[in-house]
Structure 1
Amino acid sequence: MTNLYEKYKDDPEMLVAISDREGNIAMLEDIFFISKKLDIHYVSADKWNWLHQCNLICAAPLSVVEFYIKHGVEINAQDMYGMTPLHYALRSKNIDAAIALLKAGANPNLPNERGITPLSYINGFPERLDLLQLMLDNGGDVDFFTGQHGILEGIKKYRSQDPKFKPVIELMEKYSKKGI
């Protein structure tokens, strides 16, 4: 990959993308703090910050996500689609990044423009009760209305016959204010 760094040496945005993918923290530190080619708090016209962008295409290494969190990149910023860095981490199946964001205070209840909250993504990870518990500990609203039904109600309606979802449903029921 060294040839990519050489090829894009005059394109700091591309160098960030490559460094994000490879976990090259030294390069990120150079770009943002030593040579100061880019601002770590930059937000694009699409309202993407660096935490959005690092998981936009593929899962960034945990060290990259932690780097941006450590340097104060906004963890609950919503882009033009209403997506937060937590949405993108979960969409890219980057559970380690999602956990780091949640531990840093990411809100699992912020809906995107389609009404999907990060908590809704538990449908893709029913075996990760640790992730679900962390979202619930961060105030995850299992009764959040998605436009058709609450999150828990939908999981019960469509997933209750799947044994993988039994522990998910049981845990979420403890947090439901509807008593369903």
Structure 2
Amino acid sequence: MNFKTQIGVELLSAFDEGDLVQVDKLFSENKRNVLEISQTEHWNWLHKNLLGFDPNKPPKQSIEYLIEKGVPINAQDCYGMTPLHYAMRATNAEAALVLLRAGANPNIPNQDNVIPLSMIGGMPKRLDVLQLMLDKGGNVHHHTGKNETDILATLKKYCGDDEEIKPVIALMEKYA
């Protein structure tokens, strides 16, 4: 593993632990830039930190740190994914809330026309995330992927009897 990669791994580990003192030290001592973007994937540090599938990592203070440093929250990678897409995929509700409060757009489509709002089914009990997405203009009528129906209609059709999804549908209907 080359030096740059090794420092990147150490940075991601420190972010996962919420050790921002170590993060600052690694950035300053190793000539890594908090605003750098990977050449191939076009990932910024928000993307990189949210690529995993642990709903508790990174903690919200790591996401807040990156936002405070000016890392773009609505940047799209080579797949059209924003940090909010990755937070939703990982079911990291706290990261999603931090991103949304900072201005993340819940309607940016990725290469498959999937918007972060449409990923709420992964954490249906987190109505606070859904509420904030809707308050930020989340479009319940967006047609995801190649679906002939919008997000709300799809949830009603395929999950309408699911007790966990019923509150999601009810909240979305208020914004329909």
Do they superpose with TM above 0.5? Answer: yes
Cα offset, 1:141, TM superposition:
0.3
Letter in 1 for 2:19: N
Query: Could you say which structure has the larger radius of gyration?
Result: 1
Structure 2: state its 5+ residue gaps: none
Aligned twin of 1:44: 38
Instruction: Measure, in 1, the Cα distance between the counterparts of 2:16 and 2:74.
Output: 22
Letter in 1 for 2:35: H
Indicate which of 8, 15, 34 corresponds to 2:10: 15
Cα offset, 1:21, TM superposition:
1.9
Task: Give aligned-pair identity as a percent.
Answer: 47
Question: Does the CA contact (< 8 Å) of 2:140 and 2:172 recur in 1?
Answer: yes
Aligned twin of 1:56: 51
Q: Map of 1:17-96 to 2, 5 A cutoff? A: 17-32=12-27, 34-35=28-29, 37-45=31-39, 46-57=41-52, 58=54, 59-96=57-94
Instruction: Measure, in 1, the Cα distance between the counterparts of 2:162 and 2:25.
Output: 49
TM-score of the aligned structures, taking structure 1 as reference length = 0.87
Letter in 2 for 1:12: I
Question: Does the CA contact (< 8 Å) of 2:89 and 2:122 recur in 1?
Answer: no
Instruction: Measure, in 1, the Cα distance between the counterparts of 2:67 and 2:130.
Output: 21
Greater alpha carbon shift after TM alignment, 61-70 vs 10-19: 10-19
TM-score of the aligned structures, taking structure 2 as reference length = 0.89
- RMSD over aligned CA atoms reads 1.7
Instruction: Measure, in 1, the Cα distance between the counterparts of 2:90 and 2:162.
Output: 23
Aligned twin of 1:161: 161
Cα offset, 1:19, TM superposition:
1.0
Q: Secondary structure at the match of 2:110?
A: coil
Question: Does the CA contact (< 8 Å) of 1:9 and 1:15 recur in 2?
Answer: no
Aligned twin of 1:118: 116
Q: Secondary structure at the match of 2:165?
A: helix
Question: Does the CA contact (< 8 Å) of 1:41 and 1:49 recur in 2?
Answer: yes
Is 1:172 aligned with 2:167? no
Aligned twin of 2:101: 103
Question: Does the CA contact (< 8 Å) of 2:76 and 2:82 recur in 1?
Answer: yes
Structure 1: state its 5+ residue gaps: 1-7
Cα offset, 1:142, TM superposition:
0.3
